[in-house]
Chain A
């Protein structure tokens, strides 16, 4: 009753950051089309384990598209061919019997490969640590309703805040740039009145940190926006640019 398909996988295997990697071919047979992509890899891994081989390492956790842990490049597309979808929410019904699927890790100088499809995305944490916060200690906050925030502003901030930090923007950018990720955070906090006092310093230090970490530059190719599982808009990059120039040229502190 359930439809099944047979696939050929070409998976990037790499033992560690210092090792050389290569594409390895595997069969994935009798895959139910109701399965998710990660469940398909689970099956391949079960077979590898029982055959005495090393299973494919891949990051995943919530498997409901919100934690941002999963993500590989599938046939040249970050998180696979579906729009607005994380890899864990990609289902096998979008593939056909006999397909060959090439699975590669996120590739960027700033994301070192740990093993196979697992990469080190701590660069994104470092960027947040550089200023992706509002400096309020626990305890001193005024009543939540003492700050009025127009609904449309709150919605715009929420659009930007929806980022799950998966790194697909970096992976899909032809230049491996992280500007959508940073733009989203700078935007969220610059839009909200609570974030305004630190907006200038935040823009300067987050961009500086991004540059230091070796991400590429934005050339407005819009691939990040097209690939973002949360459909974060590049208007956030424009807003970041505005915030950055404003801070760089009109902020009195040097």
Chain B
């Protein structure tokens, strides 16, 4: 199989314009004849549903939550990037493009990233028009801040709730179309299969989470915007319901899954408190602007932080990276925290934490200024841990936060299955091996508002689609398959809960396929996953029945998919014989312990092709071509 990225010709800045011109248009009168299925209502799904409906398509939108306003995009705190250059610091589309592609450790497509930077400005305009209350300067103009180590202030924000406000903007546009009758909304539905007829995605099978009924829905195209797979680690900053199932079941139907091993681990999260913890909470990265990261110099030092004299503290980031200090990128900060804890210098009850200390900042700037900058974060920390960061150093530890990998898509966001489009975190396209802060919101909205409305038209106008209905054998087979899977889960009636398996899987992944990986650990993980999967299908206990509201059953299906998907992650990590961004193999590092890429041999996307239950998937490569940027080694010394 040849992976054709369908990148348009011509100079980089003109590609998107040219492509939009070359895409066929659907006659306005014909749009209402098409039915488009959108799964997921985060930034990408919500904005796409609204935009497609505005164009005149009939849209059917599905989400697992009780309302389309709850998708996990809502939890993004920091902000959204755009190349507006409102601050006159010399920002430009070119610079945003370059920063993003470099931040991704040169493992993303140039054309996609450039388009993202171009569209970024329109997103801000669109959101302002919708009534998103972005922060303003005294004069009433939009305010910007610098974020995630960027050298220009290009991040737009709405307090610490930017994701929420952008999502509510998209949600309101979506609800407007629901009221207009253009979008039919199906909440509390979980997609369990993709239906393919004559090689084209023509529908989905979903479970009605309230009644347990298996429903079938036909469409002329299917758009997945179902988020990332960070919950394969069980503990992550993702919402509890976040899962890989929709994407993974599409993969099993022939959509290639790209770069599953790229996982972003965020350095500043509240550490784990115990084995019953269900979720990790992110603390904004901005804390590292003033906080100093340290651990005791002597391993096993159990004294309280204020009892440890200055001379016995190791400010390891400042010592190791004199020029960037505490502000090194996320992956570097995370890996170093892990290294310190592995050396027995971790602090707190579990030994899996490092200090983030504001004592010097408070001495220097005064408590008031620090409170003004971080008051809400300190408050949040205090609420969760019952520790006061003004008096005692915060404890932080890295946690899984975002996944760069996802279903492979071409420039049109179409997967390897005709008519199946994938957007947002669910696709692999724009962040390469590492995502920069404030880029995820930008990508989700770019895909939904400004890419899919054109490219889906190009597909629909250029394809002949025969009429199908839900009584087609493909739907009945699919329904049957889904039903069997569910019945099997219920019938096992074993001795361990779904969460118990999920937690064990999470630990395996965290230990061996987390911040730092090595071949031995990955091989071991693969074995452990296989064993655990086997046990799951013999010993899981799913209470209740399949014809009722059954949250254990919902989770069981998702964990079953994670148990297969995790192995794919491990396999992907094993074949990428280099370190880059969110994938760090200890065997490939510079003398300074930094990720060492192998551009000659691994400047490609690894896309996995499912070959059935009993065979290993096959890896296909999409070679990445860099014509506009020069590949360089990241250095933060």
Q: Which of B27-35, B320-328, B545-553, B611-619 contacts A (4 or more CB under 8 A)?
A: B545-553
Beyond A128-B171, A141-B126, A145-B86, is A39–B277 a contact (Cβ under 8 Å)?
A: yes
Q: In the complex, which residues of chain A have a beta carbon less than 8 angstroms from the beta carbon of B544?
A: 54-55
- A127-167 with Cβ < 8 A to chain B: 128-130, 132-145, 147-151, 154, 157-158, 161-162, 164-165
Q: What is the size, in residues, of chain B's interface with A at 8 Å between Cβ atoms?
A: 83
Contact with A42, one of B69, B86, B276 (Cβ below 8 angstroms): B276
A115 within 8 A of B: yes
Q: In the complex, which residues of chain B have a beta carbon less than 8 angstroms from the beta carbon of A189?
A: 131
Q: In the complex, which residues of chain A have a beta carbon less than 8 angstroms from the beta carbon of B66?
A: 59, 69, 120-122
Q: Are A63 and B240 touching (Cβ within 8 A)?
A: yes
Beyond A43-B276, A55-B551, is A69–B165 a contact (Cβ under 8 Å)?
A: no
Q: Are A39 and B548 touching (Cβ within 8 A)?
A: no
> In the complex, A69→B278 CA distance in Å?
16
Q: In the complex, which residues of chain B have a beta carbon less than 8 angstroms from the beta carbon of A115?
A: 548-549
B5 within 8 A of A: no
> In the complex, A1→B349 CA distance in Å?
9
Interface size of A as a range: 35 or more
B172 within 8 A of A: yes
Q: Which of A30-38, A72-80, A242-250 contacts B (4 or more CB under 8 A)?
A: A30-38
Smallest beta-carbon distance B182→chain A, Å: 11
Q: In the complex, which residues of chain A have a beta carbon less than 8 angstroms from the beta carbon of B135?
A: 154, 158
Q: What's the dominant secondary structure at chain A's contact region?
A: loop
Q: What's the A-B contact tally at a CB cutoff of 8 Å?
A: 219
Q: Are A61 and B158 touching (Cβ within 8 A)?
A: no
Q: In the complex, which residues of chain A have a beta carbon less than 8 angstroms from the beta carbon of B241?
A: 61
Q: Are B72 and A61 touching (Cβ within 8 A)?
A: yes
Q: Are B72 and A194 touching (Cβ within 8 A)?
A: no
Q: Are B134 and A132 touching (Cβ within 8 A)?
A: no
Q: In the complex, which residues of chain B have a beta carbon less than 8 angstroms from the beta carbon of A129?
A: 175-176, 178-179
Contact with A141, one of B50, B125, B279 (Cβ below 8 angstroms): B125
Smallest beta-carbon distance A197→chain B, Å: 11
Beyond A129-B176, A188-B133, is A144–B128 a contact (Cβ under 8 Å)?
A: yes
Name the residue on B nearest A209 (C-beta): B179
B21 within 8 A of A: no
B497 within 8 A of A: yes
Q: Are B552 and A2 touching (Cβ within 8 A)?
A: no
A18 within 8 A of B: no
Q: Are B74 and A66 touching (Cβ within 8 A)?
A: yes
Q: In the complex, which residues of chain A have a beta carbon less than 8 angstroms from the beta carbon of B158?
A: 158, 161
- B118-165 with Cβ < 8 A to chain A: 122, 124-131, 133-142, 156, 158-159, 161, 164-165
Q: Are B175 and A128 touching (Cβ within 8 A)?
A: yes
Contact with B543, one of A35, A55, A118, A145 (Cβ below 8 angstroms): A55
Contact with B125, one of A52, A69, A144, A150 (Cβ below 8 angstroms): A144
B362 within 8 A of A: no
Contact with A66, one of B131, B161, B277, B279 (Cβ below 8 angstroms): B161
A99 within 8 A of B: no
Q: Are A62 and B239 touching (Cβ within 8 A)?
A: yes
- B83-122 with Cβ < 8 A to chain A: 84, 86, 122
A85 within 8 A of B: yes
- Listed by A's residue number, 24 A-B pairs whose Cβ atoms lie within 8 Å are A1-B349, A36-B278, A42-B276, A42-B278, A46-B499, A49-B497, A50-B497, A57-B549, A62-B70, A64-B281, A66-B74, A67-B239, A68-B70, A91-B383, A120-B66, A121-B67, A122-B66, A129-B175, A133-B172, A136-B129, A136-B173, A144-B124, A154-B135, A194-B128
Residue positions of A touching B, CB distance < 8 A: 1-2, 15-16, 32, 34-36, 38-39, 42-43, 46, 48-50, 52-55, 57, 59-64, 66-69, 85, 88-89, 91, 93, 114-115, 118, 120-122, 124-125, 128-130, 132-145, 147-151, 154, 157-158, 161-162, 164-165, 188-189, 192, 194-195
4 smallest A-B Cβ distances: which pairs?
A: A148-B140, A133-B172, A141-B129, A141-B125
